[in-house]
Amino acid sequence: MIPLEKFAGQKVGVLGLGPGGRAAVASLHASGAAEVYAWDAHTLRRKETPGDCVPPRVWPMEEMTAVILADGGRGGLSRGVAERAGELKIPVYTELDLFGEALAESGLRDDIKVIAVTGAAGKSVTISIISHILDEQGWDVSIGGDLGQPPLALDAPSPGRVYLLEVPVRRLAGMRSLTVDIPILLNAAGPRQSTEIALAMRALIRICRARAVGGTAIIGVDDPIGQEVCTILRSGKGDADGKGQIIPVSGEATIGHGVFVLEGAAYSIQRGKTQSLGDFSRAKGFLGAHFNQDAAAAIAACLSIGIPPAMIIKSLHSYEGLAGRFECLGAADGIVFIDDSYASNPAAAERAINACPNVFWIGGDAGTREQIGDGAVGSYLLGEQTKDGEGVSPLAQAFKAACDDAAASRDVGAEDAAPVVLFAPGVAPLAGKYRRDEFRKLVSDRMERQALHA
């Protein structure tokens, strides 16, 4: 647990009791805070939080030392609390701010590294690749954010430790105090409105500005926002001059400077000279070409902290990927089944669809389908009822329809490639339309039936 000793004996308010908020409450109690006033609009979250939960309208704000807005909350009730705190000149923090300040106050900041990955898609895979490489080389790694534990629940700082943080773009807006040694920005565009793009740009430039002196910002340039952020930072308009390196990375094309990966081969270009870093095309964990940029970013990060290219490539050969991230579950009846159940936003679902030549996509809703384009042969939306679907889960209905159409396409030889049934929901499980393990069970049952018939 990350200690918050500065709040010992103080009164502190915590608004938002998701994983990050509950970790903040636990750390405050462990650090001797006199009184912690915690609240969340969701009843279940309040029940999962130790101690009494008190709504902000009865908080003794005039007596508080700080207010913590946890788990990305900045609208609705959070806005009102932040405005009231501002009137009373009470500092407002996010859990990322507290994490950053605790590291700075530990006396070990120069002996540890913080690598933060943000963007619309590819964060978890990139962190898992970096973690695998560092583990293989004997580094001390702690993973926080959406992939691991909340930042404040991670182990306290110790010399040589590397913190890997997965940070959604929405969490960056309120961040003020976290200094990152290696910020990584990937797949930033996604399907956003123009106002959201402007907010995302400011947030993304903020985390790159927040890197430590001598640090390295790694920017994916396979989307227009990443290209613009990279241009701004390299031109100096992002106030990044003198801070360290800016390394563009790509998984789609040769670039004039940076690191790129094409068909499982990695290259580095500096000062016009191209260096082959090695080939990992036979590695099990890189099933789709859409992982190329993630791999390039991981390679760039590991090069930045001094790991030799040969050791990086050797480690990539033993990387087996993440469950539920474009994971091939096997084949039955001539149909390949791929589980990308952690693709919980439209941008991630679109990446998965575009990686398959003959795909029958299960996921999302009508809004998701509108945002991902026409890359799928067939689309089967969660919640769309079939005439015989009464009493059957939305995912089971969609699975049957996708399998029927995939089998029909195979029978008529519509494509040279085997048909792929892909589950990439593009919406969060909280939408109540699926469980992440349900697709795996449906595939397992189908494969067992085929084995019995054989």
Q: For residue 89, what is the domain's CATH number? A: 3.40.50.720
On whether residue 428 sits in a domain, the answer given is yes
Distance of CA 407 to the CA centre of its chain: 34
Residue 268, CA distances (Å) to 214, 250, 253 in order: 20, 11, 12
Residue 393: predicted pLDDT = 76
On whether residue 101 sits in a domain, the answer given is no
Three-state SS at 29: helix
Q: Are residues 230 and 349 in the same domain?
A: no
On whether residue 401 sits in a domain, the answer given is yes
- Name residue 289's amino acid: A
Prediction pTM value: 0.83
On whether residue 169 sits in a domain, the answer given is yes
On whether residue 99 sits in a domain, the answer given is no
Q: Are residues 175 and 114 in the same domain?
A: yes
Evaluate whether 330 touches 337 at the Cβ level (below 8 Å): yes
Q: Are residues 115 and 255 in the same domain?
A: yes
Evaluate whether 351 touches 373 at the Cβ level (below 8 Å): no
Residue 239: predicted pLDDT = 45
Between CA 238 and CA 53 the distance in angstroms is: 42
Residue 372: predicted pLDDT = 74
List the structure tokens of 11.
Answer: 């009164």
Residue 115: predicted pLDDT = 94
Between CA 147 and CA 143 the distance in angstroms is: 7
| Rg from Cα positions in the chain | 23
What is the count of structural domains for the chain?
3
CATH number of the CATH domain containing 387: 3.90.190.20
Residue-by-residue DSSP string for 241-264:
TTSEEEEEEESSS--SSEEEEETT
List Cβ neighbours of 430 (8 Å cut-off, separation of 6 or more): none
**Regions of the chain with pLDDT less than 70:** 72-76, 173-174, 189-204, 206-213, 236-243, 383-392, 411-416, 429-433, 454
On whether residue 134 sits in a domain, the answer given is yes
Residue 392: predicted pLDDT = 64
Which of 317, 335, 357 is the endpoint of a domain?
Answer: 317
Q: Domain range holding 348?
A: 327-453
Q: Are residues 334 and 310 in the same domain?
A: no
Q: Are residues 245 and 278 in the same domain?
A: yes
On whether residue 402 sits in a domain, the answer given is yes
Residue 139: predicted pLDDT = 95
By residue count, the chain amounts to 454
Q: Are residues 263 and 141 in the same domain?
A: yes
Which of 36, 61, 93 is the endpoint of a domain?
Answer: 93
Q: Are residues 56 and 141 in the same domain?
A: no
Three-state SS at 103: helix
Between CA 112 and CA 162 the distance in angstroms is: 6
Q: Are residues 331 and 413 in the same domain?
A: yes
Q: Are residues 183 and 256 in the same domain?
A: yes
Q: Are residues 130 and 207 in the same domain?
A: yes
Q: Are residues 311 and 332 in the same domain?
A: no
Residue 112: predicted pLDDT = 92
Q: Are residues 263 and 395 in the same domain?
A: no
CATH number of the CATH domain containing 195: 3.40.1190.10
- Burial label for 317, CB within 10 Å (0-12, 13-18, 19+), is middle
On whether residue 360 sits in a domain, the answer given is yes
Which of 317, 347, 374 is the endpoint of a domain?
Answer: 317
